[in-house]
Structure 1
Amino acid sequence: MRAKDLSVLLFVLVIIVMLIIPLPDFILSILILANISISLVVILVAMNTSEPLEFSILPSLLLLLTLFRLGLNVSTTRSILGTASAGNVVETFGTFVIGGNALVGFVVFVILIIIQFLVITKGSERVSEVGARFTLDAMPGKQMSIDADLNAGLINEQQAKERRQKIEREADFYGAMDGASKFVKGDAIAGIIIVMINIIFGLIIGMLQLGMGFDEAITTYIQLTVGDGLVSQIPALLISTATGIIVTRAASEGNLSSDVTGQLLQYPKLLYLAGGAIFLFGFTPIDPILTTTIAAILIGGGIMLERPVKEEFVDQTAEEEEQASEQIKSQENVVDLISMDPIEFEFGYALIPLVDQNQGGDLMDRIVMIRRQLAIEFGIVIPVVRIRDNIQLTPNAYQLKIKGNEVAKGELMLDHFLAMTGGLDSDDLDGIETTEPAFGLPAKWITEDDKDDAELNGYTVVDPPSVVSTHITEIIKKHAHLLLGRQETKQLIDHLKESYPILVDEVTPDPLTIGDIQKVLAKLLREQVSVRNLPVIFETLADFGKMTNDPELLGEYARQALSSQITKQYTNGNPTLRVITVAGQVEQTIADHVQQTEHGNYLALDPDNQQKIIHSVKERVEQVSLQEEVPIILCSPTIRMYLKQLLDRFFPHVVVLSYNELEPNLDVQSAGVVNT
């Protein structure tokens, strides 16, 4: 055990000894001086801390020091009542304060007790209680502020974690200080009671047992009591003051000394006014020499303080201009200009209440939840969404950019609600015609007064924050494959390697590079297939990666390995799946027109056959859409990716699955056939 740890344990043992065993006067004097020394160290440390958490041990330290003082009180009371002596330190303090008059000395001591109990201790207790309450009340707001900064990209995950831990520590600290201040208050009350016990029982013991006269007894025991009270209450006063300093510390960048001198003397000209006011006092019966001297000190101090401020201001201005010039010329400044955020959300000035927490905006919190939701749903970490206002947009407009390119835009009316018709007759509801931005459904902006009527008539009514957050969610889902680069892929691989090191080593760097794996994962994400089940995907890559490094083929193999996931994705637990099948001649036509090259395979279908297939698919998709079902085309594994490539240009929302991507026990029903 280290010496520092051992010293604290010995300190606790000494307290126990003081409570039980009588100590010689010499040892008591040493312990009393040690108590005063520790108290001085505590208040000096409190004055030199810039924030309360730098002295987080104070609540526990208050308990130990309070117990130490009570132990000393017990030991000194035992000596005072038993031998009419308590050591040289106690006698010296008592003699110095009494000064030959026991009554005056006792009154001075009572005044000191009153100051300690009613002013310092009472104030520290109240400030600790209020500080604890307000710290706990402010925790949700601070947490939201951290999430907002994290979402805006001002801090990273590690910094956010550290700030959350600091908030938790602050709450614990102020809560502990609220409780510890009760010990300080109890110590002051105990000191008053001990003083009364020493005087009353001292007179009884001195007169009845020791044979003293009344005058001798009152002088002896008041001197010892006052001395004992002083050596106990002076450290208690210092500790209470240190407690008050810590719990009243506001946000600052320095310690108490630098803050007091820096802030109290930051306006030198005010010292002139104070000096002038003191000088005018000299025209009253107050000593004019004294007032003139003090006024001269104040005015001289103002002159001395004002001169460095001017010089510092000039130097600081020149330094800032030089730094600005260097920043403009520096290469880093130019490099910063070309950086680009992966995702940007820009909005007009009328939509500022969406993101302003002071106005009730919660869009930043919603985006944090969107990122978490998509991480669970797709298995990738969505980059931080940069949120900023753009005065070039119309007031109610917003736009979403991915890697600098606009991918979506829309308009909101913050004082309205969006009512989606869902295919109902929209003429029976008063409102402003519009289109729901996420899914393109017909909708209307309605007032709050019409909200209840719209819901009763079967409309889906949502508020503007929900509209824009849904739009953002769907757009990020649609473009998730663009957000997964090599760097993000490397992070996913490193995370997988922590649990499956052998599997990862078998796939990369040989036979597949990070770029190859990124293309496979991006292919899956492009068709809304989650890559969260990375172990299964890597098992497939380990099996087929040695045969081919074509990401399109590897993606098809991965889809087949994820058949359970894909089946669940499109059936939602329903044992039946309605699909559009592909006629055999169409499949044969597509297979016959696949061209194989050294750079990969592609479909080279003649325009006539292409138009026939597109026309047939269009008819079947329209039939299925009328039944409010998601159009799903089912075909053989050999042509699935080629058919998907063909339809993407005309029907990007149509899902194309192969037989191998569905569970064998699934009941598949045909809703139509694609033929020529």
Structure 2
Amino acid sequence: MKIGDIVVGMFIIVSLVLMIIPLPVGILDFLIALNLAFGLIIVYNALFAKEALSMSSFPTILLFATLYRLSLNVASTRLILRDGDAGTIIETFGDFVGGGDPIVGIVIFIILIIIQFLVITKGSERVAEVSARFTLDAMPGKQMAIDADLNSGLIDEIDAKNRRQKIQDEASFYGSMDGASKFVKGDAIAGLIITFINIVGGIIMGSTRGMNVQEAMNHYTTLTIGDGLVSQIPALLIALATGVLVTKVSKEADVSDILAQELFKTPKVLYLSGSVLIIIGLFSPLNKIIVVGLGCLMIVAASIMDRNLQIQTVDEEVATEEIEADEIRKPENVVSLLQVDPIELEFGYGIIPLADVNQGGDLLDRVVMIRRQIAIELGTVVPIIRLRDNIQLNPNQYVVKIKGVQVSEGEILFDHYMAMNPGFVDEEIDGVETIEPAFNLPALWITEGQREKAETLGYTVVDPPSIIATHLTEIIKEHLDELLTREDVQTLISNIKETHPTLVDELVPKLMGVGEIQKVLQTLLKEGVSIRDLVTIFETLADNATSNRDTDILTEYVRQALKRTISKKYFMPNETTSVVTLDPAVEQLIMDSVKQTEQGAYLALDPESTQKIIKSTENEISKLEELGKQAIMISSPIVRIYFKRLTEEYFKNLIVISYNEIESNVELQSVGMVSIN
């Protein structure tokens, strides 16, 4: 057990014992002095704390201090009523404050109670109550701000965790302070009751001991007032500490620095205040020496402050110029310029309100949702997306960069909506013609007033943040394979190892390295296949990597193992899907043109045959597009990957699937065949 635990335990026991066991007056004097010192320590700690959470244990301290003070009240009351003597400290306070007059002492004591109870304690309780309510109401917004900073890369996971913990601590602290203020209020009420009991009981006890009523009243009232003062002065200090703590707002400076900066930072205020005092002193019956003298002192102080501020301004300008000159002379730190952000979204100043939370923008929240959506849909973690404003862009323009290179751009109208005709709406609406950036569809910019009409007619209407978010999502999906790094793959492997250690130990690094697994996953992502089911992927690789190390062939095995996922994505249940097939002669031609090397296999098809295949593919795809169907090509498993590589530069949206990747309950209808005849 730690010493601190023993001290706290003994403190509670001693406080309770003080209420039961009579104390010698010398020990009581020491404990009363200790109570006063304890109060001073608390109030100065509260005064110079940087923020309220610096004394997060204050509610507990308040409870302990109240218990200790009440136990001293009980001990001193016993001595006053039993012996008519409660030590030198209580007697000295009673004589000194009252000046030998019990009535004066009673009045001063009551004034102290009123100050503590009605002014400081009441105000502190209200501030703590409001702070607790506001802190709880602000928690969701603060949590969203932390998520936005984390997503934009301003903070890391550790900082985010610390900030969230701090928000919870603040809510708990102010809630506790709201309740702890009741201790101070109850202590003040108890002080009044104890004082009344001591006076009445003292008069009765003095009368039974041969004193007349006047002598008993003077003696016991003096002791009671002294007892009340030595108890209520530390209580007043702790009540003051409570008020200081719950009203503390600055986290950067001490109270003395704040007061000096905020009360005496403007010479004009002191000039005006001093002038008013001088006028009042000269033209009123007030003491001219005091009032006019104080006014003159304030004007002199303002003059000195004004001169110091001018000197400080000049020094700051010189320091700024020197820093700028040093920056110019300093060799450029090129290391900081080498880092390239995986994904960047840059926008003109007209789009800033969409990304500014203070202006109601939710673009940061949408970026967070993009990362979550892709993680669920494709099973990989998207890198941090940097959002930056760029004054070189047009006000309403935005660009998307992948690894520092611009890959796409778009332009929006901030106060307009984009309306797209899904194909079955006949009635036209007025608007500015444009192209939807994500899918290159014809669209119109319409105003807020036209939105309801467009939706009623059947148009698809989206707001500017949704346009940017959708465009960004499609760009990320398109380049997700090149965003998947070895570190990302290692993270995925580590996650799987927590639940499937045997599988990972068998596969990595005995059969495949991280780089080889990365190539398989990149190939899957490039064709839009989810890698979320890593267990199935790793088991398939472990089963086949012993006989074949070609990552292309292994990828095909994985695709076949994921046929349920692939079929669900492209084929609707209980519905016939129109597809295009590949002529067996074309498949044979492709297989005859595959060349095997140590670095892997590649397709060496002559240009004439290539052009015929591309032309035939284009014709067959157009048939599907005329039917409003998705372009899907079906081929044999061994040919699929080579045909996909042959056509991917010409037809980016063409989906190539092998027969082994289709579930048995899927119904297909061939509307054409790619051939070279």
Matched, 1:635 2:635: yes
Shift, 1:640, TM fit: 0.8
* CA 578–37 in structure 1, closer or farther in 2 if over 3 Å, else same: farther
* CA 136–612 in structure 1, closer or farther in 2 if over 3 Å, else same: same
Contact 1:348 1:394 in 2 (8 A): yes
Root mean square deviation of aligned Cα: 3.0
Contact 2:416 2:446 in 1 (8 A): yes
Q: Residue 241 of structure 2 corresponds to which residue in structure 1?
A: 242
Q: Residue 402 of structure 2 corresponds to which residue in structure 1?
A: 402
* CA 571–41 in structure 1, closer or farther in 2 if over 3 Å, else same: farther
Q: Residue 150 of structure 1 corresponds to which residue in structure 2?
A: 150
Q: Residue 222 of structure 2 corresponds to which residue in structure 1?
A: 223
Equivalent runs, 1:47-62 vs 2, <5 Å: 47-62=47-62
Q: Residue 128 of structure 2 corresponds to which residue in structure 1?
A: 128
Shift, 1:67, TM fit: 2.5
Distance across 1 between alignment mates of 2:58 and 2:445: 58
Secondary structure at the aligned position of 2:253 is classed as coil
One-letter amino acid of the structure 2 residue matched with residue 92 of structure 1: T
* CA 353–105 in structure 1, closer or farther in 2 if over 3 Å, else same: same
* CA 332–9 in structure 1, closer or farther in 2 if over 3 Å, else same: farther
Name which of structure 1's ranges 239-248 and 191-200 shifts more when overlaid on structure 2. 191-200
One-letter amino acid of the structure 2 residue matched with residue 542 of structure 1: A
* CA 432–200 in structure 1, closer or farther in 2 if over 3 Å, else same: same
Q: Residue 254 of structure 1 corresponds to which residue in structure 2?
A: 253
Shift, 1:290, TM fit: 5.6
Name which of structure 1's ranges 314-323 and 462-471 shifts more when overlaid on structure 2. 314-323
Distance across 2 between alignment mates of 1:191 and 1:20: 19
Q: Residue 377 of structure 1 corresponds to which residue in structure 2?
A: 377
Q: Residue 469 of structure 2 corresponds to which residue in structure 1?
A: 469
Contact 1:416 1:447 in 2 (8 A): yes
Q: Residue 445 of structure 2 corresponds to which residue in structure 1?
A: 445
* CA 17–615 in structure 1, closer or farther in 2 if over 3 Å, else same: same
Shift, 1:367, TM fit: 0.7
Equivalent runs, 1:498-577 vs 2, <5 Å: 498-509=498-509, 511-571=511-571
One-letter amino acid of the structure 1 residue matched with residue 640 of structure 2: R
Shift, 1:664, TM fit: 4.3
Contact 1:35 1:69 in 2 (8 A): yes
* CA 271–457 in structure 1, closer or farther in 2 if over 3 Å, else same: closer
Equivalent runs, 1:153-172 vs 2, <5 Å: 153-172=153-172
Q: Residue 619 of structure 1 corresponds to which residue in structure 2?
A: 619
Distance across 2 between alignment mates of 1:270 and 1:441: 64
Secondary structure at the aligned position of 1:639 is classed as helix
Distance across 2 between alignment mates of 1:407 and 1:73: 78
* CA 545–323 in structure 1, closer or farther in 2 if over 3 Å, else same: farther
Matched, 1:599 2:599: yes
Contact 2:571 2:666 in 1 (8 A): no
Deviation per residue, 1:124-166 (Å, 9 max, x gap): 1121122222222322332232223223222222212211221
Distance across 1 between alignment mates of 2:265 and 2:333: 35
Matched, 1:199 2:199: yes
Q: Residue 97 of structure 2 corresponds to which residue in structure 1?
A: 97
One-letter amino acid of the structure 1 residue matched with residue 584 of structure 2: G
Distance across 2 between alignment mates of 1:474 and 1:274: 65
* CA 314–434 in structure 1, closer or farther in 2 if over 3 Å, else same: closer
Q: Residue 116 of structure 1 corresponds to which residue in structure 2?
A: 116
Name which of structure 1's ranges 332-341 and 178-187 shifts more when overlaid on structure 2. 332-341
% identical equivalent positions: 52
Distance across 2 between alignment mates of 1:667 and 1:86: 100
* CA 194–554 in structure 1, closer or farther in 2 if over 3 Å, else same: same
Distance across 2 between alignment mates of 1:71 and 1:667: 87
* CA 294–448 in structure 1, closer or farther in 2 if over 3 Å, else same: closer
Name which of structure 1's ranges 559-568 and 465-474 shifts more when overlaid on structure 2. 559-568
Shift, 1:502, TM fit: 4.8
Name which of structure 1's ranges 26-35 and 42-51 shifts more when overlaid on structure 2. 26-35
Q: Residue 77 of structure 1 corresponds to which residue in structure 2?
A: 77
Matched, 1:411 2:411: yes
* CA 574–249 in structure 1, closer or farther in 2 if over 3 Å, else same: farther
* CA 494–21 in structure 1, closer or farther in 2 if over 3 Å, else same: same
* CA 241–454 in structure 1, closer or farther in 2 if over 3 Å, else same: same
Shift, 1:372, TM fit: 1.6
Deviation per residue, 1:488-526 (Å, 9 max, x gap): 333333444444455444444555443333222211111
Contact 1:422 1:441 in 2 (8 A): no
Deviation per residue, 1:371-405 (Å, 9 max, x gap): 12212222222122222223333332222111122
Distance across 2 between alignment mates of 1:54 and 1:672: 75
Q: Residue 659 of structure 1 corresponds to which residue in structure 2?
A: 659
* CA 405–264 in structure 1, closer or farther in 2 if over 3 Å, else same: same
Distance across 2 between alignment mates of 1:572 and 1:669: 13
Name which of structure 1's ranges 382-391 and 166-175 shifts more when overlaid on structure 2. 382-391
Q: Residue 68 of structure 2 corresponds to which residue in structure 1?
A: 68
Contact 1:355 1:361 in 2 (8 A): yes
Shift, 1:370, TM fit: 0.9
One-letter amino acid of the structure 2 residue matched with residue 139 of structure 1: M
Distance across 2 between alignment mates of 1:615 and 1:141: 56
Name which of structure 1's ranges 190-199 and 258-267 shifts more when overlaid on structure 2. 258-267
One-letter amino acid of the structure 2 residue matched with residue 436 of structure 1: E
Equivalent runs, 1:250-289 vs 2, <5 Å: 250-267=249-266
Distance across 1 between alignment mates of 2:572 and 2:666: 12
Contact 1:252 1:259 in 2 (8 A): no
Distance across 1 between alignment mates of 2:258 and 2:156: 31
Q: Which runs of 5+ in 2 are unaligned?
A: none
Deviation per residue, 1:551-610 (Å, 9 max, x gap): 323322332232332233334666865543323222112111112222221112233433
Shift, 1:274, TM fit: 6.0
Contact 1:620 1:674 in 2 (8 A): yes
Distance across 2 between alignment mates of 1:92 and 1:659: 102
Shift, 1:58, TM fit: 0.7
Distance across 2 between alignment mates of 1:383 and 1:436: 25
Contact 2:425 2:457 in 1 (8 A): no
Shift, 1:485, TM fit: 2.3
Q: TM-score, normalised by structure 2?
A: 0.91
Shift, 1:431, TM fit: 2.5
Name which of structure 1's ranges 307-316 and 89-98 shifts more when overlaid on structure 2. 307-316
Contact 2:425 2:458 in 1 (8 A): no
Secondary structure at the aligned position of 2:386 is classed as strand
* CA 281–324 in structure 1, closer or farther in 2 if over 3 Å, else same: same
Shift, 1:440, TM fit: 2.6
Shift, 1:275, TM fit: 6.2
Q: Which runs of 5+ in 1 are unaligned?
A: none
Distance across 1 between alignment mates of 2:374 and 2:95: 78
Distance across 1 between alignment mates of 2:224 and 2:672: 104
Shift, 1:239, TM fit: 0.6
Secondary structure at the aligned position of 2:400 is classed as strand
Name which of structure 1's ranges 220-229 and 300-309 shifts more when overlaid on structure 2. 300-309
Shift, 1:201, TM fit: 3.5
* CA 157–618 in structure 1, closer or farther in 2 if over 3 Å, else same: same
Name which of structure 1's ranges 389-398 and 659-668 shifts more when overlaid on structure 2. 659-668
Q: Residue 487 of structure 2 corresponds to which residue in structure 1?
A: 487
* CA 488–312 in structure 1, closer or farther in 2 if over 3 Å, else same: farther
Matched, 1:355 2:355: yes
Secondary structure at the aligned position of 2:333 is classed as helix
* CA 351–307 in structure 1, closer or farther in 2 if over 3 Å, else same: closer
Name which of structure 1's ranges 90-99 and 490-499 shifts more when overlaid on structure 2. 490-499
Contact 2:574 2:667 in 1 (8 A): no
One-letter amino acid of the structure 1 residue matched with residue 373 of structure 2: Q
Shift, 1:51, TM fit: 0.9
Contact 2:425 2:459 in 1 (8 A): no
Secondary structure at the aligned position of 1:568 is classed as helix
Shift, 1:456, TM fit: 2.6
Shift, 1:483, TM fit: 1.4
Deviation per residue, 1:283-321 (Å, 9 max, x gap): 576666666876786677668777776776666555544
Distance across 2 between alignment mates of 1:279 and 1:217: 53
